Structure 1
Amino acid sequence: MSHDNLFCPLRLGQLHLQNRIVMPPMTRSRASQPGDMANAMMATYYAQRAGAGLIIGEGTQIDPLGKGYAWTPGIYSPEQVAGWKQVTDAVHAKGGTMFAQLWHVGRVTHPDNIGGAQPISASAIKADGVKVFVDNGSDAPGFVETVTPRAMTQADIDTVVGQFRQAARNAMDAGFDGIELHAANGYLINQFLDSESNTRTDNYGGSLENRLRFLKEVTEVISAEIGADRVGVRLAPLTTLNGTVDANPEQTYLAAARLLGELNVTYLHIAEADWDDAPLMPDNFKQGLRDAFPNTLIYAGKYDGERARAALKAGWADMIGFGRPFVANPDLPNRLRHGYPWAPHDPATLFGGAEQGLIDYPVYQASTEPQPA
């Protein structure tokens, strides 16, 4: 292929990326216990996939109260920072670029995951029907329903904003090239954004401007700490994951995109709903986001090579994330470049466990490769 838009270089802030392919954040629940620390096995996993133009690490909690699932990594202790440093060193040694995804789950957790505490959220509204994976140290690990959270006080909000700021600094100390703020998929920032999970009557609820305030404050302090050119934000306009629903998603998320453009974050990462029969984002919505946000736009959600190249050609996307294909295809960029087939992943090994299903997927063997056309 003489010109492949997936493999055009891209400047992201001060960074120069080798292609338009993103490995998006995917929870794998393999952090070392106790302490929720990234480890050598995770370093191997990410380094194997360093051919992506950008790797965004798995959701990483900024505080013990922000942990939603057993065995996920944190970035608030010195030991966790050291664990992530071995990951970023391994990725950089292979020529890769990696951002940390900073995460507070809010109500999407259970007391068993957060030391017996009650979860916090924008409002005291339970995420009905949502289950999370717990390991309380006595019962067998498994899924349990979330509980009713308590509404955050102003002091709680100030504390969490500070935790995001410190986590961004910790990410830089751990060698990451930047951070992605997780404001999608029903987690804490999303709980403030969406109208049906936020019934507050103070400066953080009611009007759209108020519902955007928490996102604005977190983004501002992180940008002041490490520079807006090292900050990306993930949004999920049409998802209903973890029980968050907005009454007018186009209005809400176009406003969020404009706000983030004014704050000059380096990218906006749009998670499209990707389950069976999920609502499709209309093209005019995507164009609206393009018009609202001046910097790099990343889309992720069941993309293959053909759809990815079409999105780049249409102009509403600058980079494309390939989630689960990266699980079983550590050499996915090479397969995309040459049209080689993709290996399927084993669903049974997605979450938890050891090396099987994490770092034992092979690259495509040259001896069996057809000659590219």
Structure 2
Amino acid sequence: MNTALFTPMRLGHHELKHRIALVPLTRFRASETAVPTDLQAEYYDQRATDGGLLITEATFITHKAGSYPRAPGIYNQEQINGWKKVTDKVHAKGGVIFLQLWHIGRAAMAANIGEQPVSASDIAIKGVNLLGLPQEKPRALTIPEIKEIVQQYRQAALNAVEAGFDGVEIHSANGYLLDQFLNTSSNNRTDIYGGSAENRTRFAREVVDAVVDAIGAERTAIRFSPWSGFQDMEDAKPYETWGYITQALQDKHSNLAYVHFIEPRADFQADSYDEKQADTLDPFRKIWKGPFISAGGYTYNTQAAFDVAEKTGNIIGFGRLFISNPDLVERLRNGWPLNKYDRNTFYTNEASGYIDYPFYKKD
């Protein structure tokens, strides 16, 4: 099939053979000590393709970065060794795999991390947490603590490279720590990390600087979600905020592996998408000259993946459709029918709904 979606492109040190990427999907299949399991090795192996990009589920940079039970980490040797089994399998198929680095900030629970959650400001998420309890009020990070977390991201990136990853994606989206600094709804600081777009983006930019210094720009990427709304995220001027950080990255780190934006129409908690969404990623696409990943909503309109790739040259990220179709790349290439996903098995700890979705078989 000679379409943009199946046209090769350069990404960091790698030559991709198509532009379909697996985007991060938290699945809670790690061990109770946050070590990747053989289940995870099988899961990523099933979805690996020659010259295809996989981005792992979000992975904690330290125990105190959040520690949802059965979510993986990258902060000790056992976890590094567990991830090595994953990267070995993906590389054996010629695949490219990046690890997403995660700190959840105020979304954490004190019972899991042993202390009060932290954030940009002492503003709690509205509503209840995973246990149905009221969301906990965080405390605002001090500047020395911010500098320490920057170094934790740096070390996590080094650990990822030791585990065999081709690079890392810094999670700065979906209402987690770095995103809490970006959005005006969660950041009312008055120091160098609050107020202007320059200040609110400073933490994320410092993390990029530190990771680039540690492992190189070609192994470094970052994810953003200007309109996600998840976990009370809202910014007064999203085009200004994310336009500023995109331009800053273009000016200072134009050779990053990629930038990754979530489409404004996306809602990963719903089984549909907003077809009439007026907001657009186009201003950010115009600023960023390197590889650009667009994700969100393509599960419900696969034709849009072909259309957007044709129009923009973007890599197109799939989440839920990649859960239920381990051979998604070949199904899209050949126009084969697609398996439907089962949301009930997204966050269990079992093989069912994880590694047992069928591959396409010709009659």
TM range (shorter): over 0.9
Separation in 1, partners of 2:204, 2:169: 13
**C-alpha displacement at 1:281, in angstroms?**
5.5
Answer yes or no: is 1:366 the counterpart of 2:362.
yes
**What letter corresponds to residue 211 of structure 1 in structure 2?**
R
Query: Which sections of structure 2, spanning at least 5 residues, go unmatched?
Result: none
**C-alpha displacement at 1:177, in angstroms?**
0.4
Contact 1:238–1:279 (CA under 8 A) maintained in structure 2 = no
1:298 is matched with 293
Contact 1:130–1:243 (CA under 8 A) maintained in structure 2 = no
**C-alpha displacement at 1:112, in angstroms?**
2.0
1:339 is matched with 335
Q: Alignment partner of 2:316: what SS? A: strand
Separation in 2, partners of 1:122, 1:83: 32
Going from structure 1 to structure 2, the CA distance change for 1:45 and 1:105 (only over 3 Å counts) comes to same
Separation in 2, partners of 1:305, 1:205: 39
How far does the alpha carbon of each residue in 1:311-345 deviate from its partner, in whole angstroms, 9 at most, with x for none? 01212x52001110011100000100111111011
Separation in 1, partners of 2:137, 2:102: 20
Q: Alignment partner of 2:218: what SS? A: helix
**C-alpha displacement at 1:131, in angstroms?**
2.1
Answer yes or no: is 1:309 the counterpart of 2:298.
no
TM-score of the aligned structures, taking structure 1 as reference length = 0.91
Answer yes or no: is 1:207 the counterpart of 2:196.
yes
1:371 is matched with none
Going from structure 1 to structure 2, the CA distance change for 1:305 and 1:100 (only over 3 Å counts) comes to same
Q: How does 1:237-252 map to 2 (within 5 A)?
A: 237-252=226-241
Q: How does 1:77-92 map to 2 (within 5 A)?
A: 77-92=76-91
**What letter corresponds to residue 303 of structure 2 in structure 1?**
E
Q: Alignment partner of 2:185: what SS? A: helix
**C-alpha displacement at 1:180, in angstroms?**
0.3
**C-alpha displacement at 1:130, in angstroms?**
4.9
1:70 is matched with 69
Q: How does 1:1-373 map to 2 (within 5 A)?
A: 1=1, 3-33=2-32, 35-51=33-49, 53-67=52-66, 69-114=68-113, 116-132=114-130, 142-262=131-251, 263-264=253-254, 265-273=256-264, 274-275=266-267, 278=274, 282=278, 285-303=280-298, 304-315=301-312, 317-367=313-363
Contact 1:126–1:147 (CA under 8 A) maintained in structure 2 = yes
How far does the alpha carbon of each residue in 1:6-49 deviate from its partner, in whole angstroms, 9 at most, with x for none? 1111110211112100000000001112x110011100000000
Q: Alignment partner of 1:195: what SS? A: coil
How far does the alpha carbon of each residue in 1:189-219 deviate from its partner, in whole angstroms, 9 at most, with x for none? 0001111110111110011111111011000
Contact 1:272–1:281 (CA under 8 A) maintained in structure 2 = no
**What letter corresponds to residue 332 of structure 1 in structure 2?**
L
How far does the alpha carbon of each residue in 1:336-372 deviate from its partner, in whole angstroms, 9 at most, with x for none? 01111110111111012211111011101122xxxxx
TM-score of the aligned structures, taking structure 2 as reference length = 0.94
Going from structure 1 to structure 2, the CA distance change for 1:120 and 1:12 (only over 3 Å counts) comes to same
Separation in 2, partners of 1:280, 1:109: 33
How far does the alpha carbon of each residue in 1:212-244 deviate from its partner, in whole angstroms, 9 at most, with x for none? 110110000000100011111100011111112
**C-alpha displacement at 1:305, in angstroms?**
3.0
Going from structure 1 to structure 2, the CA distance change for 1:233 and 1:242 (only over 3 Å counts) comes to same
Separation in 1, partners of 2:37, 2:71: 11
| Paired positions, count | 353
Contact 2:3–2:310 (CA under 8 A) maintained in structure 1 = no
Query: Which sections of structure 1, spanning at least 5 residues, go unmatched?
Result: 133-141, 368-373
